[in-house]
């Protein structure tokens, strides 16, 4: 597919923000299954661009003049095709590092007991997809009940969440089974479900020696395909977040975000 993507994020504040640092992971990589034809990011002031430890393109900018609103925009065109396997760059983060749980993925005893029969015995596609189906069946997709700070254990206890929560629970269970796994942030093209445009899934390491990873969408309990556009990878949502930052001042914050994905001829 040939897709045109536009991602706009706007912040408004009650009082002037005196100082802020923003970190953006809004640049999709050239990777198996996706070819970036054009892409640009618009920020209030010029950003410094670098690669983080996971190989994500990271744009950082600092604002020292007071402001009460801020607009960020990313847009471009991507050609996609079905692909669900990725081989790491030799300099990539070790898969063994991605066996470690984080605050967002730490499993509860109840979680481990509930999914005990579905935990993979080996890093095979069939076994991991079986676990994805079990997570999808146990945790219903319900927007608005969780946020970026909700942990896997909390979402599981509520038996509801969104793609981010599905991914955190899946990371938790894969790592508990001795399978390295990482969080993937990105976009999902579905004309009938525009609320899914901002999406998240996981990669699990199917061969540590080869650095081979397989991508699984837990919300749809399937391997990723031409509908998925990768943005960034990390240990969890926080290390792969498309937009994050810290600020001094501003008081209350109002955030509005919109993502449009259009299929081109």
pLDDT given for residue 83 in this prediction: 96
- Rg of the chain on CA atoms, in Å: 18
Strands 34-42 and 253-264: unpaired
Q: In the predicted model, is pLDDT for residue 194 greater than 80?
A: no
pLDDT at 195: 61
- CATH number for the domain running over 2-80+243-264: 2.60.40.2250
pLDDT for the residue 90? 83
**Confidence (pTM):** 0.95
Short-list 216, 220, 189, CA closest to 202: 216
Amino acid 91: pLDDT:
85
pLDDT in tens, 106-124: 999 999 999 999 999 999 9
Alpha helices in the chain (DSSP H): 109-114, 125-138, 152-158, 163-176, 237-240
C-alpha angle 36-41-46 in degrees, rounded to nearest 5 = 135
- pLDDT 10s digits, 45-102: 999 999 999 999 999 999 999 999 999 999 999 999 999 999 998 888 999 999 999 9
Per the CB < 8 A criterion, the answer to whether 120 and 140 are in contact is: no
State pLDDT tens for residues 131-168: 999 999 999 999 999 999 999 999 999 999 999 999 99
Which two tokens mark 26?
Answer: 């809004």
Q: Of the candidates 34, 211, 27, 223, which has an alpha carbon nearest to the alpha carbon of residue 128?
A: 223
Is the pLDDT assigned to residue 196 strictly greater than 90?
no
pLDDT tens-digit readout, 83-92 = 999 999 888 8
Query: How many percent of the chain have pLDDT more than 70?
Result: 98
Domain 85-240, what fold?
C8orf32 fold (3.10.620)
- Would you list the domain boundaries of the chain? 2-80+243-264, 85-240
Give the per-residue pLDDT at 192.
74
Residue indicated by tokens 């290390």: 239
Q: What is the share, in percent, of the chain residues with pLDDT greater than 90? A: 95
Confidence of residue 229 (pLDDT cuts 50, 70, 90): very high
């Amino acid at each position: 597919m040939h897709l045109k993507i536009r991602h706009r994020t706007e912040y408004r504040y009650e009082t002037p923000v005196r100082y802020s640092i923003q970190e953006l992971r809004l640049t999709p990589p050239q990777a198996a299954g996706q070819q970036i034809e054009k892409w640009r990011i618009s920020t209030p002031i010029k950003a410094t661009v670098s690669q983080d430890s996971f190989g994500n393109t990271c744009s950082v900018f600092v604002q020292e003049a007071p402001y009460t609103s801020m607009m960020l925009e990313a847009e471009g065109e991507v050609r996609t095709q079905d692909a669900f396997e990725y081989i790491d760059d030799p300099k990539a983060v070790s898969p063994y590092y991605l066996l470690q749980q984080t605050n967002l993925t730490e499993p509860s005893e109840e979680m481990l007991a509930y999914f005990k029969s579905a935990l993979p015995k080996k890093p095979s596609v069939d076994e991991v997809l079986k676990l994805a189906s079990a997570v999808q069946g146990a945790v219903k997709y319900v927007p608005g009940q969780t946020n970026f700070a909700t942990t896997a254990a909390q979402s599981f206890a509520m038996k509801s969440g969104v793609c981010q929560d599905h991914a955190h629970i899946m990371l938790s269970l894969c790592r508990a089974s001795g399978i390295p796994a990482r969080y993937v942030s990105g976009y999902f093209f579905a004309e009938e479900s525009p609320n899914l445009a901002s999406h998240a899934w996981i990669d699990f390491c199917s061969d540590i020696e080869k650095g081979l990873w397989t991508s699984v969408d837990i919300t749809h309990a399937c391997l990723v395909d031409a509908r998925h556009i990768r943005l960034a990878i990390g240990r969890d949502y926080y290390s792969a977040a498309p937009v994050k930052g810290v600020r001094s001042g501003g008081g209350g914050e109002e955030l509005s975000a919109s993502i449009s994905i259009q299929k081109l001829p």
